[in-house]
């Protein structure tokens, strides 16, 4: 009997060990980035399209201060409160000592250079689609931004969500590369798809999540409860958002809705970023949104 | 019993509808005045926005008129429109956050930024369509900066 128990324990250890091995934090393959030359101006566009400042600038930062990525904004979710870390170019408290490969590991695999899982509050489940050239350019732009020595705060997450090892399982279930909307898209719609599905990470808020915090892809961009509290984040499917493409592009530029109210809530933050994109990119986003599946099928 | 229940449901529905409309209709004249001023901003920005989006044909004269109205509206002295006790906690018809009354210097700086964006639009609107389009961004930014800090989200 005792022998049987030992065998069971050994089996369990092997299974857990295998599980941890399969779900271990992955780093990026340096070969994918080799030979790519950073374009800092392009990196700045990636920075705005990906909305880095919306989370990583200091709480309430305005104007130029949004380029100081000292962290500290708090995001309350059903899993706990996440505090955005310092990703300024400070080598000790930020990411100043990161290589482009380190950044790729964070963006594509949600792993830190020292092989820790990041929480998916950092939207790597979207950034996993970021083009290698954009990663290299973004890295160069981030390194050109000011250093700030504010230490990163700890996330306020309770059991069991404080077990970072379990995030490997989350990734196994929900971290997927590849496009969400497939099929016949024009060149403009494909550009919009890249901006929405990869950089803009729109689905992180506009798509509902299951109990484990994975996006319900069959309801892509169809609206979701607001994790921060009251109200509902609106759906963007063509039958839910009856704005014209020009309306959408104008909203992403100036924040004006079709009745000339201004963007509210988190979208006001988003518009600060999309305002810095080109007209062509904003129209690309709009044309993609008209191509996503309807909410009723 | 069913009849009674549907009666009760109808009653609840009525209460809900009345409750909603009460939450939307401003009674306090100061709240009404400032909301009306916002509507006038929106109407004139709408004239410009329609041209920026290509919904209306660009007309230099009409654009200049709308921009000039807007610039004038931003100069209206609003000091009597924001009396104490008209924040969204005290008056459900308002979305004005109490923080306004604690940060008047910042609120008026943001108002000044809107006035400047309106003046820039005034210079641009009559010039040509590209200039008008370019001025929409900063104008929207000025609206949004204040709303983001001082307006409660829509229910």
Cβ atoms within 10 Å of A212's Cβ, excluding its own: 10
Q: CA-to-CA distance for A54 and A35, rounded, in angstroms?
A: 31
Residue A242 falls inside a structural domain: yes
By the 10 Å C-beta count (0-12 exposed, 13-18 middle, 19+ buried), B8 is classed as exposed
Residue B33 falls inside a structural domain: yes
User: 3-class DSSP state for residue A87?
Assistant: coil
A132 and A238 together in one domain = no
A225 and A115 together in one domain = no
Residue B119 falls inside a structural domain: yes
Closest CA of chain B from A294, distance in Å: 25
> Cβ B49–A268 below 8 Å, yes or no?
no
What is the count of structural domains for chain A? Answer: 2
Residue A153 falls inside a structural domain: yes
Give residue A115's region: left, alpha or beta (phi > 0; psi -120 to 50).
left
- What is residue B77's predicted lDDT score, i.e. its pLDDT? 94
A75 and A125 together in one domain = yes
- What is residue A184's predicted lDDT score, i.e. its pLDDT? 93
Give the residue numbers spanning the domain of A202. 187-289
A36 and A59 together in one domain = yes
Contacts of A24 (CB under 8 A, 6+ apart): A115, A168
Residue A3 falls inside a structural domain: no
Asked whether residue B155 is marked as a ligand-binding residue, the answer is no
Residue B53 falls inside a structural domain: yes
A160 and A193 together in one domain = no
Q: CA-to-CA distance for A176 and A174, rounded, in angstroms?
A: 6
A157 and A199 together in one domain = no
Residue A294 falls inside a structural domain: no
**Tens digits of pLDDT across chain B (155 residues):** 455 555 544 444 444 444 444 456 889 999 999 999 999 999 999 999 999 999 999 999 999 999 999 999 999 999 999 999 999 999 999 999 999 999 999 999 999 999 999 999 999 999 999 999 999 999 999 999 999 899 998 76
Give the residue numbers spanning the domain of B134. 28-150
Q: CA-to-CA distance for B61 and B67, rounded, in angstroms?
A: 10
Q: Which residues 18-77 of B are in CB contact (within 8 Å) with A?
A: 41-43, 45-46, 49, 52-55
A167 and A194 together in one domain = no
Q: CA-to-CA distance for A28 and A108, rounded, in angstroms?
A: 7
What is the count of structural domains for chain B? Answer: 1
- What is residue B75's predicted lDDT score, i.e. its pLDDT? 96
Residue A295 falls inside a structural domain: no
Q: Encode pLDDT of A141-176 as tens digits.
A: 999 999 999 999 999 998 888 888 889 999 999 999
**How far is residue A84 from each of residues A47, A98, A118, B24, B33, measured CA to CA in Å?**
16, 18, 11, 36, 40
Nearest to A275 among B45, B137, B155 (CB): B137
Residue B95 falls inside a structural domain: yes
A142 and A245 together in one domain = no
User: Residue A244: its chain B contacts at CB < 8 A?
Assistant: 53, 55
The pairing of beta strand A74-77 with beta strand A224-225: unpaired
Residue A16 falls inside a structural domain: no
A210 and A87 together in one domain = no
CATH of the domain at B69: 1.20.120.10
Residue B5 falls inside a structural domain: no
Query: Number of A:B CB contacts under 8 A?
Result: 68
Q: Encode pLDDT of A173-203 as tens digits.
A: 999 999 999 989 999 999 999 999 999 999 9
Cβ atoms within 10 Å of B62's Cβ, excluding its own: 17
Q: CA-to-CA distance for B44 and B69, rounded, in angstroms?
A: 7
- What is residue A273's predicted lDDT score, i.e. its pLDDT? 96
Q: How distant is the alpha carbon of residue A172 from its chain centre?
A: 17
Angle between helices A132-144 and A40-49 (to 10 degrees): 100
User: Hunting for tokens 């004249």 — which residue is that?
Assistant: B29
Q: Encode pLDDT of A101-128 as tens digits.
A: 999 999 999 999 999 999 999 999 999 9
Q: CA-to-CA distance for A148 and A70, rounded, in angstroms?
A: 6
User: Residue B53: its chain A contacts at CB < 8 A?
Assistant: 244, 246-247, 249-250
User: 3-class DSSP state for residue A226?
Assistant: coil
pLDDT value at A3 more than 70: yes
Assigned token pair, A266: 């988190």
Residue B145 phi, psi dihedral angles, 5° rounding? -60, -40
Q: CA-to-CA distance for A35 and A94, rounded, in angstroms?
A: 26
pLDDT value at A285 more than 50: yes
B62 near B129, Cβ under 8 Å? no
What's the first-to-final CA gap in chain A, in angstroms?
57
Domain boundary among A121, A152, A174: A174
User: Average pLDDT for residues A252-279, to the nearest whole number?
Assistant: 93
A148 and A35 together in one domain = yes
Domain boundary among A141, A174, A207: A174
ipTM (interface pTM):
0.80
* pLDDT over 90, % of chain A: 79
Instruction: Specify the DSSP element, H or E, that contains A289.
Output: helix A279-289
């Amino acid at each position: 009997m005792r022998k049987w128990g030992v065998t069971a324990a050994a089996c369990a250890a092997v299974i857990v060990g295998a599980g941890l091995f399969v779900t271990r934090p992955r780093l990026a393959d340096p070969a994918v980035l080799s030979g790519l030359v950073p374009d800092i101006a392009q990196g700045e566009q990636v920075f705005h399209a990906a909305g880095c400042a919306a989370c990583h600038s200091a709480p309430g930062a305005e104007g130029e201060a949004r380029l100081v990525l000292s962290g500290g904004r708090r995001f309350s979710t059903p899993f706990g409160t996440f505090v955005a870390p310092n990703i300024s170019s400070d080598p000790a408290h930020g990411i100043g000592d990161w290589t482009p490969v380190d950044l790729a590991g964070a963006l594509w695999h949600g792993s830190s250079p020292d092989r820790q899982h990041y929480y998916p509050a950092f939207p790597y489940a979207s950034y996993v689609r970021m083009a290698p050239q954009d990663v290299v350019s973004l890295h160069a732009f981030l390194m050109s931004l000011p250093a700030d020595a504010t230490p990163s705060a700890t996330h306020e997450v309770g059991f069991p969500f404080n077990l970072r090892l379990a995030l490997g399982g989350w990734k196994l279930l929900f971290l997927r590369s590849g496009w969400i909307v497939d099929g016949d898209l024009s060149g403009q719609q494909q550009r919009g798809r890249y901006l929405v599905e990869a950089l803009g990470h729109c689905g992180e808020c506009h798509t509902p999540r299951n109990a484990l915090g994975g996006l319900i892809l069959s309801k892509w961009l169809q609206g979701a409860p607001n994790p921060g509290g009251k109200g509902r984040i609106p759906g963007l499917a063509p039958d839910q958002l009856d704005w014209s493409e020009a309306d959408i592009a104008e909203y992403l530029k100036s924040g004006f809705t079709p009745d000339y109210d201004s963007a509210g809530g988190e979208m006001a933050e988003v518009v600060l970023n999309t305002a810095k994109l080109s007209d062509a990119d904003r129209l690309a986003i709009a044309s993609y949104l008209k191509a996503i599946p309807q909410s009723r099928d | 019993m069913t009849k009674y229940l549907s009666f009760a449901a109808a009653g609840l529905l009525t209460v809900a509808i009345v409750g909603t409309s009460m939450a939307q209709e401003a009674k306090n004249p100061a709240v009404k005045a400032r909301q009306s001023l916002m509507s006038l901003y929106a109407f004139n920005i709408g004239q410009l926005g329609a041209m920026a989006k290509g919904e209306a044909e660009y007309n230099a004269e009409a654009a200049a008129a709308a921009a000039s109205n807007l610039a004038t509206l931003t100069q209206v002295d609003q000091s009597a429109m924001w009396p104490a006790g008209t924040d969204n906690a005290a008056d459900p018809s308002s979305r004005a956050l109490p923080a306004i009354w604690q940060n008047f210097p910042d609120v008026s700086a943001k108002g000044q930024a809107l006035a400047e964006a309106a003046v820039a639009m005034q210079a641009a609107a009559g010039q040509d369509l590209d200039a008008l389009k370019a001025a929409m961004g900063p104008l929207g930014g000025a609206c949004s900066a204040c709303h983001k800090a001082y307006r409660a989200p829509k229910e």
